[in-house]
Chain A
Amino acid sequence: MSMTPFTGRVWKFGDNIDTDVLAPGLYMKSPMAELARHCLEAVEPRFAREVRPGDIVVGGRNFGMGSSREQAVMALRELGVAAVLAPTFAGIFYRNALNLGLLVLVCPAAQEIPAGAQLTLDPAMASARTETGKTFACEPLPAHLLQMVAEGGLLPHLENKLRSQQVREARR
């Protein structure tokens, strides 16, 4: 994932979106493509059908509350969601998202972003702008976490690190 500015359509949700609506237990043993088809189904049945790669999810307070299941993040990634903006995130979901390469940004005024807006997000500047020019400040992520998200999460990040170590050792 690139960390240069990008534009996506906004899907808007309220407070306390939980992991069980993101990744319903009934489909947890199914392959990810199948599980993702039911992502957020209980609150917005259109979402999984109509969301397009690059779209942006805007949530309310405590986004991702509930289970530690990483599938809650993976389902959003599978559907191509480029970022989630919310005023607060549940702790485990937030760590899972960064570890799996999903851009999550704390945006205090997220609930003022209109549904369906074309939102341009600049991850490095931690700011978002609607097509009408209204801007929304986010809390910046430290550079090393942005880098990890850009690489696709903790595992690819570790792989890259191991590879560059091996290259250095081979040159010695």
Chain B
Amino acid sequence: MAQPAIQPMTLAEKLVARAAGRDFVRPGEVVTCKVDLAMMHDSGGPRRVAPMLERLQAKIWNPDRVVVISDHYVPAVDAESAGILDLTRKWVKAAGISRFHDMQGICHVVLPERGHLRPGMFVVGGDSHSPTGGAFGAYMFGVGATEMCGVLVTGEIWLRVPETILLHWSGRLGPGLAAKDMILAMCARLGMDGGRYQAIQYAGDTIAALPMQERMTLSNMAAELGAQAGLIAPDAVTAAYLRSVGVPDDTIGGEGWQADPAADVAERHDFDAAALAPMVAAPHSPANSAPATEHRGTRIDQAYIGACTGAKINDLRMAAAVLKGRKVAGGTRLLIAPASTRTTAEAAADGTLAILTEAGAILMPSGCGACAGYGAGVLAEGETCIASTARNFRGRMGAATSKVYLGSPYTVAAAAVAGEIRDPRDMLAGGGAA
């Protein structure tokens, strides 16, 4: 009897097939996958799952496969947030979870930074920006607390094998342009539900040339495209990043995690990096994006560089490229919350931090902060902000009548200097630094 033909598979299909213990899978099938790693934060994590586990009188299937990171209510600002953090710390200890990072930064940045991610892994996160892990060639997606409880008890989760939507980029990004401009352009073209809860794969020579942190920005905002996952095939850039955070060479294993050339994708969309201009998303949707010049002159009260999306070390360096030798405009405030404590340390070591503070930026603690309206730096009624974050939904960052524009760290920094939205390239005569 002839051998069955080997089914060509996309990267998403390969990752799901491995986790499901299958040789191959087809889009649309419902499969049960074994979870390699489950990540939770202080908001959707222990305070929500602890009562559920108690109710079921169940134990965690494997505490060594669970990572807990406090980032939403840090540092505590009142009795409620202090109580949530206290519960988190006590629960982690009682549950025997050793991989706990308390107040070290935002989970999506801390997780890879502390060497927990590898290509090929199947990972669930208790947060919607969990697709960030896809930048490392891991199948990572967000779930709610009840689903997380199910994973904690069984170590498994069901899923419909996703179709693959290929977002292909070619050409070189010009100076003053960043991954954030790319993803806002994709949101504008595909809409907030263009990803249809399927798997996106970013590919092409533009993607291959991006540093790891920029790839993370693209994968992070696969959430804003409505996708379940946002994958990038691992390569030498991935391996170099993992080595730099202490992942042993023999466990990096990125080689097999590529799409087969003959694999079918459900959709393909092509983008030209060379034709891209700095993008700004107007209130109240990331899909409401257009070139920054269309919003030139829009006055802002606050500029915010923060969140898992927009305050990694590369993001801070982009802001510094604009802010070097300049000052934040009178009547405008610039708040910067580095994505992790390691980001702050790196920015201090290479002089980035000094440039930011000399320009008049106000340094904030590492955490989710104002992005989702949880922490310090929220907006008053009627105020306007431009932010390097992922979402500008109505009222998300504070009062219901506040307005949030989104842009790259270059664009946010340029707006802070001008007191209004500008094309940041006007302030980058010598080209970008990131």
Contact = CB atoms under 8 A, between A and B. Distances in A.
Given A62-B192, A90-B197, A42 B56 contact: no
Nearest to A101: B146
Nearest to A95: B147
Grouping DSSP codes into helix (H, G, I), strand (E, B) and loop, the B interface class, with mixed when no group exceeds half, is loop
Interface residues of A, number: 37
Interface residues of B, number: 40
Contact of A159 (B55, B130, B226, B373): B55
B403 to A, nearest CB: 12
B318 to A, nearest CB: 26
B228 A28 contact: no
A162 B153 CA distance: 14
Contact of B372 (A65, A67, A92): A67
Interface in B371-411: 372-374, 378, 391, 393-396, 398, 400
Interface string A148-167: 00000111001100100000
A69 B43 contact: yes
Contacts of B55: 155, 159
Given A70-B48, A99-B146, A159-B55, A20 B372 contact: yes
Contacts, number: 110
A88 B192 CA distance: 12
A41 B150 contact: no
9 contacts: A16-B193, A29-B374, A69-B44, A70-B144, A70-B146, A92-B143, A96-B146, A155-B55, A155-B56
Nearest to A63: B193
B147 to A, nearest CB: 6
Given A42-B395, A155-B146, A25 B373 contact: yes
B414 interface: no
Interface of A: 16, 18-21, 24-26, 28-30, 41-43, 61-62, 65-70, 73, 88, 90-92, 95-96, 99-100, 153-155, 158-159, 162
A153 B146 contact: yes
Nearest to A67: B128
Contact of B52 (A25, A67, A155): A155
A68 B44 contact: yes
A6 to B, nearest CB: 24
A42 B374 contact: no
A91 B48 contact: no
A30 B372 contact: no
B124 to A, nearest CB: 10
A92 B128 contact: yes
Contacts of B373: 20, 24-26
Interface in B67-95: 73, 80-81, 84
Q: What are the nearest 10 A-B pairs in CB distance? A: A91-B197, A25-B373, A96-B144, A62-B193, A42-B395, A99-B146, A20-B396, A42-B400, A68-B128, A70-B144
B247 interface: no
Nearest to A27: B373
A80 B55 CA distance: 23
A131 to B, nearest CB: 31
Given A20-B391, A91-B197, A153-B146, 20 more contacts: A16-B285, A20-B396, A21-B393, A24-B395, A25-B373, A25-B396, A28-B374, A29-B374, A41-B395, A62-B192, A62-B193, A68-B44, A68-B127, A70-B44, A90-B226, A91-B226, A92-B128, A95-B143, A95-B147, A99-B147
A96 B147 CA distance: 7
A20 B223 CA distance: 14
Contacts of A68: 44, 126-128, 130, 142-144
Interface string B225-246: 0101000000000000000000
A160 B84 CA distance: 30
A29 B73 contact: yes
B145 interface: yes
Interface string B16-48: 000000000000000000000000000110001
A88 B193 contact: yes
Nearest to A61: B193
Contacts of A159: 55-56
Contacts of A42: 394-395, 400
B149 interface: yes
Contact of B80 (A30, A90, A92): A30
Contacts of A70: 44, 48, 144-146
Given A29-B84, A62-B226, A68-B44, A18 B144 contact: no
A92 B285 CA distance: 18
A91 to B, nearest CB: 3
Contacts of A96: 144, 146-147
B144 A29 contact: no
Interface string B327-354: 0000000000000000000000000000
B126 A65 contact: no
B378 A26 contact: yes
Contacts of B73: 29
B193 A20 contact: no
